[in-house]
Structure 1
């Protein structure tokens, strides 16, 4: 294979951006087809994409066409797992937009299907290309920070106005999106939280406020406390209703703390690890000597979406390791599912979560939602908007 022929399902804002990237920026990739059950979206494709890019009204037609080797799924959240499973069944490589899905039960089924396949399976976790988070992961994995004691992420710069939510009846509904700030805006942070540290919590206690700042069904303000197996603790705070917002990720370990904020990575490094200092120091008041180190990081925010598509293409053509394997999408989703379940049950939630109980609780919300979803085979695959 000299080139990977891609098809895109869902020609909304993200789908269109991916189409242009595949046409112009990804070596070894070719945009061969697009699929959308909305005639208006296909009219856009006819007008703006080359004539040799075929257009399909249904995923099944696309999968059976023989025109593609890989599919990029940029549809509503609920449809990611069933479409991925179907595509894998047709022997296609699959790259899904984030999040992996809405509930872990469906995502686990998708992962199981991928495990039985010899096809490449990836997820659009484009923040993994960001040099800041790559450097943080490298420092933690190397042992520079020592054993982690605490993680804190304040991510409140996802401001969204009421007019944003009013722009589509599916937005911020349990039936349409399956969640709010945790599922729409925060999947990247929830992924990076565990990807950079290499740690998943053992239990979660979360407080979710639904429609606190906006007239919406889903959560727009969350504070979650987590505990890890090694005794470390963590805090995750997020909202779409505050301005100005903050994006500060702080990780404390035996050897100091690392802070990512305002595009900078700062390592407050202890000259003597805290456990050693505590064991040896006899002076009463006092603390370890601390060096403030500005860690050099490559400029820019990485290749983002193009970087993931380039890596995915190279994985197919040259067996390059995937930066964001699709199977890892379940980790961040587990965190958001656990936060919802904790709020709904007003209790601690142990990980791994009870996926059946979560699905049961979610379906209650969906049944009462103002947006009633129809099956993927019948619905328009065009509500995938920008985050």
Structure 2
């Protein structure tokens, strides 16, 4: 295979961006087909994409044509697992937009289908290309920080007005998006939280406020507390209702703390690890000597979406290791599902979560949603996974 022939399902905001990238900037890739039930979006494709790109009105039609090698799924959240499984059954490589899905039960079925196949499976976790988070992961995984004691991420710079939510009936609904700030704005942070530290919590206690700042049915303010197997704790705070917002990720370990804020990486490094200092120090009041180290990081934000597309293409052509394997999408989703379940049950939630119980609770919300099930069909043309 000299080139990977891509087909895109869903040509909304993100689908269009990916289409143009595949046409103009991804070596070894060729956009062969696009699929959308919206005539208006297919008209855009006819005007903006090369004449040879095929147009399909349904995924089944595109799959049956066998004109592609890989499919990029940029549809509403609920459809990601279903379409991915169908593509696996046809033998196509699959790259999905984030999040992996809405509930872990469906995503696990998708992962199981991927495991039975021999194709590549990736997810559009483009923030994994960001030099800032790559360096953070390297510092932690290499042992520079020592054993982690605490993680804190305050990510509140997601301000959204009521007008934003009113721009689409599917926005901020259980039936349309399947969640609010956790599922729409925060999937990258929930992924990076566990990807950089290499740790998933053992249990979660969360407080979700639904429609606190806006007239919406899903959560727009969340505070979650987590506990890890090694005794470390963590806090995740997020909202779309505050201005100005904050984006600060702080990780404390035996050797000091690392702070990520304002696109800078600062390592407050202890000259003597805290456990050693505590065991040896005899002077009463005192603390370890600490050095403020500004960690050099490559400028820019990395290749982002194009980087994931290049990596996925090279994985197919040259067996390059995937930066964002699709199977890992379940980790961040597990965190958001656990937070919802904790809020709905007003209790701690152990990981792995009870996937059946979460699905049951979610369906109660969906059945009471202002965006009804019958409306989901007409919404499939909407690329809500890329709107944020």
Q: TM-score, normalised by structure 1?
A: 0.99
Hey, what's the Cα distance between the residues in 2 that align with 1:51 and 1:33?
Answer: 11
CA distance in 2, matches of 1:191, 1:169: 28
Please say if residues 75 and 380 of structure 2, whose CA atoms lie closer than 8 Å, have aligned partners that are also in contact.
no
The answer (yes or no) to whether the contact 2:176–2:376 under 8 Å persists in 1 is no
1:38 corresponds in structure 2 to 38
Residues 374 and 91 (structure 1), Cα distance of their counterparts in 2 relative to 1, 3 Å cut = farther
Contact 1:128/1:134 (8 A) holds in 2: yes
The alignment partner of 2:259 has SS state of: strand
Aligned to 2:78, what secondary structure does the other structure show? helix
1:269–1:291 CA contact under 8 A, matched in 2: yes
User: What secondary structure, in the 3-state scheme, does the structure 1 residue paired with 2:52 have?
Assistant: coil
Residues 156 and 247 in structure 2, CA contact (< 8 A), matched pair in contact too: yes
Deviation at 1:8, TM superposition (A): 0.4
Q: Residue 126 of structure 2 contacts residue 307 of structure 2 at CA under 8 Å; is this kept in 1?
A: yes
What displacement does 1:381 show? 2.8
Q: Distance in 1 between matches of 2:294 and 2:350?
A: 37
Q: Counterpart of 2:30 in 1: which secondary structure?
A: strand
Q: CA deviation at 1:161?
A: 0.7
Counterparts of 1:137 and 1:144, CA distance in 2: 10
Q: Post-superposition shift, 1:377? A: 7.3
1:345 aligns with 2:345: yes
What CA distance in whole angstroms lies between the structure 2 residues aligned with 1:371 and 1:262? 37
What is the alpha-carbon root mean square deviation over aligned residues? 1.0
Query: Does the 8 Å contact 2:204/2:339 carry over to 1?
Result: yes
Correspondence for 1:260: 260
Task: Give a deviation string over 1:210-262, Cα, whole Å, max 9, x none.
Answer: 00000000000000000000000000000000011000000000000000000
> Which runs of 5 or more residues in structure 1 are unaligned?
none
> Which deviations, in whole Å up to 9, do the C-alpha atoms of 1:303-326 show, x marking residues without a partner?
000000000000000000000000
- Partner residue, 1:11: 11
1:179-258 alignment to 2 at 5 Å? 179-258=179-258
Q: How does 1:148-159 map to 2 (within 5 A)?
A: 148-159=148-159
- 1:372, distance to aligned residue in structure 2 (A): 1.3
Unaligned runs of 5+ in 2: none
User: Residue by residue, what CA displacement relative to the aligned partner does 1:281-335 show, whole Å, maximum 9, x if unpaired?
Assistant: 0101100000000000100010000000000000000000000000000000000
Matches within 5 A, 1:374-385: 374=374, 380-384=380-384, 385=386
Q: Distance in 2 between matches of 1:373 and 1:310?
A: 36
Q: Separation in 2 of the partners of 1:265 and 1:383?
A: 34
Distance 2:307 2:42 in 1: 26
- Which residue matches 1:295? 295
User: In the aligned structure 1, how far is the partner of 2:324 from the partner of 2:104?
Assistant: 18
How far is the alpha carbon of 1:374 from its aligned partner? 4.1
1:275-294 to structure 2, matched below 5 A, reads 275-294=275-294
Q: Whole-Å Cα distance in 1 between the matches of residues 114 and 378 of structure 2? A: 25
What TM-score results when the alignment is normalised by the length of structure 2?
A: 0.98
Counterpart in the other structure of 1:75:
75
Contact 1:170 1:383 in 2 (8 A): no
In 2, Cα distance between equivalents of 1:134 and 1:237: 22
How far is the alpha carbon of 1:137 from its aligned partner?
0.6
Q: Classify the secondary structure of the residue corresponding to 1:308.
A: helix
In structure 2, the partner of 1:87 is: 87
